[in-house]
């Protein structure tokens, strides 16, 4: 008994020694970052600023960092780890474009994502693989998101949006009604990506209780509620074999984790079933293919046909294809519904802008009831409303990266270090986490002018200030980092543009949106979501609005 106690004590001392050594080595490596100004560590040996950065009410913290420290601030992560929060445009260009292979997704994100979304327990889908495998998948997936294919998708978007329109029309048949717009936009975005992305209908507007849909809806909140423990993944993942991890995840008395594993399995097994059904149709030939949901024009059908046309070694494996399905749903639903909800809220708060947009859309509808892709992209005010909303209120307010080697990060605007010295570039050692603040970068007054924080769609109807061109922001969309840039830029950004425009073109001409008395608070997260101030049920989006027929 005594000897067991001694062994345990030795083990504890050894563990504490190893942890201290790791801490000291890391502190030595990151010592120059201590010179970057930033807030002091609120909890030295545990979370650091993790909760300040990621809690649902973190917007004021991020705005405060920007106001107090400027475009670069030093913060603390777990166990005293030093991290940077950056909104400097030149630095962000380097993070996303020039030095993208150095600034990769964090291990926590990659490993967590691969365990809880991709059943084979490997990096099989686009958002969590890297290097050559990522480049190869991107190359194979890109054609499914090009303009030519978007044109084929426009009728699918119209068809789904009409179902929403019919539902709303009957709800407000007897006069104005209070409606949770975020909920409807969530359902719509899911059905849009279901039909146009997967050629699958969740039956959302027909009231079907779909297991896939339920799993997907629960995956995001369940996964978000495990956000802090996610940081442990790179460590436990190294110690245990994936099969052991999966077994532990199922059997440990940790209901949320158990549930997440069940959800991932449902998502994957249903994706597999959908894939098998599509495969059978493809084997039956073109006539059968066009009879499915989305007329065979959905992204997965296109990729499956490409598989048949390409030699075996340069195509996505069936497993990779199935893995993309859940990721398209996760990446394409809440982002789009967040953007649409935000646009509708802003239109409700600015009735003059809503009227102007309605006028433009009604005029366009005189030629055609269903606006084509080319008509939609040529409407200047619709474009201005989308751009301004996505600039000022990026649905993904920031992304985390980690350095895979030492690197020097140049700055557009020099900062002063804690000794008062001017700093034009920062040496960032290997394994440093960097949080790129898209939200602050997109509303930088030195780029967009003194009115940068105001929602002004008309700014896009006149030439932009020279400072915008000078900032040389290398994001893929409208001089912003809303969809980031470089090889990891959002693959679905044109898809989401088109979705939004189709939806607005169909609902704004016939419905009026007005605010209610409720105070709306937009929660910070991987994706920004609306809630009513003081409401419980943190993860469910709420955006009540008064909707009436025009």
Q: Contact positions toward ligand HEM, by CB under 6 A? A: 126-127, 138, 193, 197, 327-328, 331-332, 335-336, 339, 395-396, 399, 482-484, 488, 490-492, 495-496
Query: Residue 142 Cβ, how far from ligand HEM at the closest point, in Å?
Result: 10
Query: Residue 394 Cβ, how far from ligand HEM at the closest point, in Å?
Result: 6
Assign 531 to helix, strand or coil: strand
> What is the signed CA dihedral for 529, 434, 111, 226, rounded to 10 degrees?
-40
The DSSP symbol for 58 reads -
What is the greatest pairwise CA distance in the chain?
A: 89
Token couple for 158: 């119209």
Query: Residue 15 Cβ, how far from ligand HEM at the closest point, in Å?
Result: 33
Nearest CB to ligand HEM, comparing residues 82 and 126: 126
Query: Residue 364 Cβ, how far from ligand HEM at the closest point, in Å?
Result: 22
Nearest CB to ligand HEM, comparing residues 339 and 376: 339
Nearest CB to ligand HEM, comparing residues 344 and 415: 344
Nearest CB to ligand HEM, comparing residues 182 and 484: 484
Per the CB < 8 A criterion, the answer to whether 513 and 181 are in contact is yes
Q: Give the residue nearest to ligand HEM (CB).
A: 492
Helix segments in 124-254, DSSP class H:
131-141, 147-171, 181-193, 211-225, 233-239, 242-251
C-alpha dist (Å) from residue 404 to 65, 123, 547: 26, 17, 50
Nearest CB to ligand HEM, comparing residues 300 and 520: 300
Q: Which helix (H) or strand (E) holds 333?
A: helix 318-349
Nearest CB to ligand HEM, comparing residues 197 and 199: 197
C-alpha dist (Å) from residue 318 to 272, 307, 308, 417, 492: 9, 9, 11, 52, 21
- Ligand-binding annotation for 92, yes or no, is no
Query: Residue 520 Cβ, how far from ligand HEM at the closest point, in Å?
Result: 19
Phi, psi of 521 (to 5 degrees): -120, 125
Token couple for 146: 């090009």
Nearest CB to ligand HEM, comparing residues 497 and 506: 497
Query: Residue 488 Cβ, how far from ligand HEM at the closest point, in Å?
Result: 4
Write the CB contacts of 353 (distance below 8 Å, at least 6 apart in sequence): 346, 347, 385, 457
Query: Residue 482 Cβ, how far from ligand HEM at the closest point, in Å?
Result: 5
Tokens 């006149």 locate to 462
Q: Binding-site residues for heme, please?
A: 490
Q: Binding-site residues, please?
A: 490
């Amino acid at each position: 008994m005594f000897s067991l106690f001694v062994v345990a004590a030795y083990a504890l001392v050894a563990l504490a020694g190893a942890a201290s050594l790791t801490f000291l080595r890391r502190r030595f490596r990151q010592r120059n970052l201590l010179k970057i100004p930033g807030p002091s560590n609120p909890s030295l040996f545990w979370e650091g600023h993790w909760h300040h950065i990621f809690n649902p009410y973190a917007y004021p913290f991020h705005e405060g960092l920007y106001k107090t420290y400027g475009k670069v601030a030093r913060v603390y992560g777990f166990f005293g780890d030093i991290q940077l929060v950056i909104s400097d445009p030149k630095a962000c260009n380097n993070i996303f474009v020039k030095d993208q292979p150095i600034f990769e997704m964090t291990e926590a994100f990659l490993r967590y994502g691969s365990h809880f979304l991709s059943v084979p327990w490997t990096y099989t889908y686009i958002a969590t693989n890297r290097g050559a495998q990522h480049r190869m998948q991107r190359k194979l997936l890109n054609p499914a998101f090009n303009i030519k294919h978007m044109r084929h998708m426009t009728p699918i978007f119209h068809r789904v949006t009409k179902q929403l329109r019919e539902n709303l029309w009957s709800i407000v048949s007897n006069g104005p009604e209070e409606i949770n717009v975020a909920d409807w936009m969530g359902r719509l975005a899911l059905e849009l990506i279901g039909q146009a992305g997967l050629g699958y209908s969740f039956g959302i507007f027909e009231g079907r209780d779909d297991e896939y849909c339920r799993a997907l809806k629960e995956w995001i909140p369940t996964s978000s509620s495990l956000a802090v423990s996610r940081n442990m993944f790179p460590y436990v993942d190294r110690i245990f074999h994936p099969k052991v991890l999966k077994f532990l995840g199922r059997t440990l008395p940790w209901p949320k984790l158990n549930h997440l594993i069940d959800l991932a399995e449902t998502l994957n097994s249903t994706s597999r079933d959908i894939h098998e059904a599509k495969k059978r149709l493809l084997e039956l030939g073109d006539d059968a293919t066009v009879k499915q949901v989305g007329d065979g024009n959905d992204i997965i059908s296109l990729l499956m046909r490409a598989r048949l046309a390409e030699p075996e070694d340069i195509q996505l494996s069936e497993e990779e294809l199935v893995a993309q399905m859940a990721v398209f749903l996760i990446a394409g639903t809440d982002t789009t519904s967040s953007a649409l909800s935000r646009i509708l809220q802003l239109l409700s708060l600015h009735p003059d802008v809503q009227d102007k947009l309605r006028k433009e859309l009604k005029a366009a509808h005189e030629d055609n009831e269903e606006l084509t892709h080319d008509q939609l992209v040529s409407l200047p005010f619709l474009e201005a409303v989308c751009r301004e909303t996505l600039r000022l209120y990026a649905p993904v307010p920031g992304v985390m990266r980690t350095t895979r080697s030492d690197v020097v990060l140049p700055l557009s605007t020099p900062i002063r270090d804690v000794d008062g010295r001017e700093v034009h570039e920062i040496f960032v050692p290997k394994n440093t986490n960097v949080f790129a603040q898209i939200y602050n970068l997109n509303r930088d007054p030195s780029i967009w002018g003194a009115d940068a924080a105001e929602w002004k769609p008309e700014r896009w109807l006149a030439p932009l200030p020279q400072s915008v061109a000078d900032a040389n922001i290398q994001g893929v969309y409208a001089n912003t980092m809303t969809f980031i840039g470089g090889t990891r830029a959002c693959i679905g950004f044109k898809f989401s543009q088109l979705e939004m425009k189709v939806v607005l073109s169909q609902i704004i001409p016939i419905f009026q949106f007005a605010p209610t008395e409720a105070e709306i608070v937009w929660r910070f997260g991987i994706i920004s979501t609306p809630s009513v101030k003081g409401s419980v049920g943190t993860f469910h989006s709420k955006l009540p609005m008064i909707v009436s027929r025009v």
